[in-house]
Structure 1
């Protein structure tokens, strides 16, 4: 109980000392995102898509290797 009162007092004191620091910050304008941009962003940043892309490349490599003549 004593700790909660101390924490609440510290928070209230900080808000009393610095009331304008939070209210004075401006929010950056929201960036508009088109469907094409959203799909491109998801394609570049999705680990599942990257893993699938690497799996396809590995399968293509195995297919090429399976069709190669043995090295004498």
Structure 2
């Protein structure tokens, strides 16, 4: 098995890491800003302090309001 030299491995690592950072911090925000629905959702999340990377939103006030609304809507039938 051939092993690559240290400088070549470091160069490859740097290229891959740089590509991932460019994708994450440059290309994805450009797509978000260019697509209307994504931009509106992003603005709404920022304005309401919602962190979209969280798995559970149980501590967000909008969740409580949504739960109350759904309970009222489903119980009024």
For normalisation by structure 1, the TM-score amounts to 0.32
For normalisation by structure 2, the TM-score amounts to 0.30
From the CA coordinates, give the structure whose radius of gyration is larger: 1
